[in-house]
Amino acid sequence: MRNKLSWFAVPYVAWMALMVVIPILIMVVYAFTTAQFQGTLENFSEMGAYTSVFLRSFRLALVATLICLLIGYPVSYWMAREGAGFQRVAMALIMLPMWMNFLLRTYSWMSILENNGLLNQFFRAIGLLELLGVDYLPMIGTPGAVVLGMVYNYLPFMILPVYSVIVKLDHSLLEAARDLGADSALVFRKVILPLSLPGVLSGVTMVFVPSVSTFAISRLLGGGTQMMLGDLIELQFLGGSYDPHLGAAISMVMMAIVVACMVVMNRFGEGEGEAALL
Amino acid sequence: MRKTNRAGSRLLIGLVFLFLYAPIILLIIFSFNAGDSSAVWKGFSLDWYGRLFRNRLIMESVYTTLLVSLLATVIATAAGTFAAIGLYSLGRKRREALLTVNNIPMINADIVTGVSLCLFFVAFFQGWGSFARWFNSVQSAVELPERLVLGFTTLLLAHVAFNIPYVILNVAPKLRQMDRNPMDAAQDLGCTWMGAFWKVMLPEIKPGIVSGALIAFTMSIDDFIISYFTAGSSSSTLAMAIYGMTKKRVTPEINAISTLLFLSVLVLLVLSNLKEVRQEARERLGAARKPSGLERARQRFSEPRYLWVRRGLAAALACGFIGVVGFLSYVTGSRPVVNVCSWGEYIDPALIDQFEEETGIRVNYQTAESNETLYSLLKSGGADYDVIVPSDYMIGRLIAEDMLEPLDYSQIPNYGLIEDRFKNLPFDPDNQYTVPYTWGTLGIIYNANAVEEEITSWGALYDDRHAGEVLLINNSRDAIGEALFYLGYSVNTTDPAEIRQAYELVAGANRRGVFQGRVMDEIFQKMEGGNAAIATYYAGDYLSMVDNQAEGVDLAFVVPEEGSNWFVDAMCMLKDAPHQREAHMWMNFIASTEANLANMDYIWYASPNGKALELYPEWYEEEYGEPLDMELYQIMAAPAEVLERCTMYQNLDAGTLALYNDLWTELGI
């Protein structure tokens, strides 16, 4: 049966070859050529200049992913304990904000976080600003605002996979653990957490990966003075000098690093059987 | 103890929802704003909803968005689910390798995915073109189309391509979690694999499929950049329309349409939930009540012997749907068309309707975000526009790279109405390619209540006294150009030392924290709301900001004494444009005095049509019953003494452009 099922993968592999691999190969060609399509490694040798952008992007994406996990996991866990009706509605409500255009939502965040924005007006009204002796709390244009933007945009991508795994956990296992004398904390640590790991891995991938390559969030919420990888790549394609060759090269390096991160993470994930025994 | 625990967790879930919905509520509130701003409240109005339904561009883009997102989600969900099942029956090594490839569209920056797909489609179309030509020449029974272009199909393919990974990533953990024995048991007991899949596997992995589909739909509906590079010139999604507006201003019409979409989904959600709750209640009450006729019919219909009827019905529905879509595209395809690309909010939409009525030509009107975005798309071969409206320096670049088609001015009699001072400009010295559309100046916009003195010099941008209050324009040419003006150099200099000196001026101010940020479209809400004191932007947009400024904000505009940039945006035709006759008709129509008056009134950028410029104050008084504020008029259409100190950007050589790019990148590192 297993072998027969693997035929399902065939059309998909063909599709991937056409729609993923060939376009990527085109970009690889770009990365290793000049504007006149002569072979070069120059695009990569320049990469060192962008180290700080790489570090900044990966650092902020990591922070955003951790925050998403810290918020998303308990929310998924609690949601899974509620009634079926509540769950259905809550799940849809979690995705619904994302169906409004990204730019509009980010504009809204800007008016909340501005120096003269809603939050600062609120702080002024309750006398907090006076207490601190400042005109406003600087929020917009800080790395914190960028992380907030990422968390806001990608939190649902953490909640959904984690929730969909937890909701289908085998309850007899939990009961067995309790019968064997484990308290709630122990049940969570030894049973629920290891069993929900696949969902967490999916969630981490789906938050971390787009966070690394996001663009516009750092411009709109971070003030744009500190570029992220997505902005750097975008600038090569849509900036004044149009250098898709350099853009492709930066993107290749970024992908290589992300793939390396994910391979390590998947190792860790496949070992979930052992993790449960610890 | 347990009860309080529950209340606590519900409170936290509530807080998360507050976090998710706070910006949404704000966004909905501003759809009722009487002003143009999405940040400064000017009173309640339903005006934007009325305008929305009259705006064909937005309504069509909503239709395209829904169609492409729904289709892509359905296809990607089905394909992704089966692919995931297939992948999970492979060995671990091969599965991991394939999953890594699967993740590539997710890892890759959207822009790279978009451009690479565009290049791929274009290469495929070229290959197909040569094949079709050969095939048509050797036989005459079947005629293959020789010229394929990007359009709805490529848009849909691209969306399916970036959706599938998300579905797989959501279904995979469920498969890993699933116990395989019930599947085997069901098949041992005589179930076919399909039967076992529907009855055993599907209920088990359903949450994963649902969340995968939800995420796929979300990615689809919000995607801008991949759509932009794969949609061709005839279809446009809502996200594309919105980003196209960012060169000027995203109007609350967009808030209005978002609110409507949001509310309709919410209503659907409530209704479906009510139905389920009622059903559950009914089940709890017991089976005492007899099933209604409808329920009996439904029950009978779901019996196995009607299986083929059900399948036939589904197939008929699918065929019908495809037929309708095909018919619609045939009907629209048989009319003469002209494909136009311009900036968002850069035309009075009534003009498009008027042109269509007068000529019977359908206008496919698309919008781009900036000159550079448009250039990138053209370079990738992804657009077959007939008419584009770039700015001067970009026109120079397009001409230098042989991307424009010379115009036949005998077909554009209204070209004679354009004032001579807008002809034979450096970007098109012999006037072979362009019909001017608008012109204007770049200047400093500042909040007179937030700075002590009247600003007259670019120096104010680099002044420590305004630390944290200055907005730097996020465009290397303008930002470094302003510094060049301040230093007294030519804005078109190619001397690296001068450019570097100008850059140092900007970078120094950046290091000292003078700039609050590098901005483009955000400038509107930042300046109107009094969140920054000084910015640089275009005269026409200043007029729109003044109209929407918050209380306590007093915006002023100045073209600095050191001189500034003046620009012309002009219509031109792309090389080998497929609809050249229609393109000439469109340009002639837009160059007319009536069209120029309507446009000037709508977008507040000055017209190059001498008669329209002269007539406008009179026209305004007739239209609105009050005299035009001549001071504002002079800001829009700068008088000769201001234009005298302004210079036009010229196309720079590749080396200088690369230097600009390097420096601009350096500023962000």
pLDDT score, position A277: 28
- Which structural domain, as residue segments, surrounds residue A202? 50-276
- Tell me the one-letter amino acid at A129: L
Distance in angstroms (rounded) separating the CA atoms of residues B381 and B375: 10
Place of tokens 């992380």: A147
Cβ of B194 under 8 Å from any chain A Cβ? no
Identify the pLDDT of residue A194. 86
What local confidence, expressed as pLDDT, does residue A99 receive?
87
Query: Which residues does A20 contact at the CB level (< 8 Å), separation at least 6?
Result: B101, B102, B104, B105, B161
Question: CB–CB of B116 and A26 under 8 A?
Answer: yes
B173 contacts in A (CB within 8 Å)?
A: 161, 164-165, 198-199, 201-202
Q: Which of 380-439 (B) contact A at CB < 8 A?
A: none
Confidence of residue A278 (pLDDT cuts 50, 70, 90): very low
**Residue B428 CB: number of other CB atoms within 10 A?**
22
Confidence band of A275 (pLDDT split at 50, 70, 90): very low
Q: Token pair for residue A243?
A: 């250098």
User: At residue A180, does pLDDT exceed 90?
Assistant: no
Q: Which of B215, B82, B61, B270 lies closest to B152 in space, CA to CA?
A: B61
- Residue A103 has its nearest CB partner, among B208, B250, B658, at B250
Residue B348's pLDDT band (boundaries 50, 70, 90)? very high
Burial label, A178 (beta-carbon count in 10 A; 0-12, 13-18, 19+) = middle
Contact of B41 with chain A, judged by CB distance below 8 Å, is answered with no
Tens-place pLDDT, residues B526-554: 999 999 999 999 999 999 999 899 989 99
**In the structure, what pLDDT confidence band is assigned to residue B328 with cuts at 50, 70 and 90?**
low
Model confidence at B182, pLDDT cuts 50, 70, 90, reads: confident
Q: Which positions ≥6 away from B200 have C-beta within 8 Å?
A: B182, B183, B186, B191
At residue B332, the pLDDT reads: 58
Cα separation, B348 vs B336, in Å, equals 22
ipTM of the complex: 0.87
| Distance (Å) from the alpha carbon of A237 to chain B's nearest alpha carbon | 6
Does the pLDDT value for residue A216 go beyond 90?
A: no
- In this predicted structure, the answer to whether residue B291 has a pLDDT above a threshold of 70 is no
Is residue A272 in a domain? yes
- For residue B489, the one-letter residue type is Y
For chain A, the domain total comes to: 1
Structure tokens at B308: 């083929």
How high is the pLDDT of residue B601? 93
Q: Does A276 touch chain B if contact means CB atoms closer than 8 Å? A: no
Residue A143 CB: number of other CB atoms within 10 A? Answer: 16
Instruction: Tell me the CATH number at A183.
Output: 1.10.3720.10
Judge: B517–A225 Cβ closer than 8 Å, yes or no: yes
Question: pLDDT value at position B294?
Answer: 67
Which residue is it, tokens 């190969």? A25
Residue B374, CA distances (Å) to A237, B506, B578 in order: 11, 27, 18
> Are the beta carbons of A168 and B207 separated by less than 8 Å?
yes
Phi, psi of B291, deg, nearest 5: -65, 145
Maximum Cα interatomic distance, chain A, rounded to a whole number of Å: 72
- Helices B580-591 and B593-603: crossing angle, nearest 10°? 70
Contacting residues of B for A26, CB less than 8 Å apart: 116, 119-120, 123
Domain annotation covers residue A38: no
Does the beta carbon of B29 lie under 8 angstroms from any beta carbon of chain A? no
Burial A24-54 (b: 16+ CB within 10 A, else e): bebbeebbbbeeeeeebeebeeeeeebeebb
Q: Is the CB of A101 less than 8 angstroms away from the CB of B104?
A: no
Q: Are strands B534-538 and B470-473 parallel, antiparallel or unpaired?
A: parallel
CA distance A200 to chain B (A): 9
* Helices assigned H by DSSP within B442-579: 476-487, 496-511, 523-528, 539-548
pLDDT digits (tens, 9 = 90+) for B35-75: 888 888 888 999 999 989 888 888 889 999 999 999 999 99
- Average pLDDT across chain B, whole number: 89
In a domain, A120, yes or no: yes
Q: What is the pTM of this model?
A: 0.88
- Asked if the C-beta of A105 comes within 8 angstroms of chain B's C-beta atoms, the answer is yes
Q: Does B633 touch chain A (CB under 8 A)?
A: no
Q: Chain A within 8 Å of B525 (Cβ-Cβ)? A: yes
Residue B1 is predicted with a pLDDT of: 38
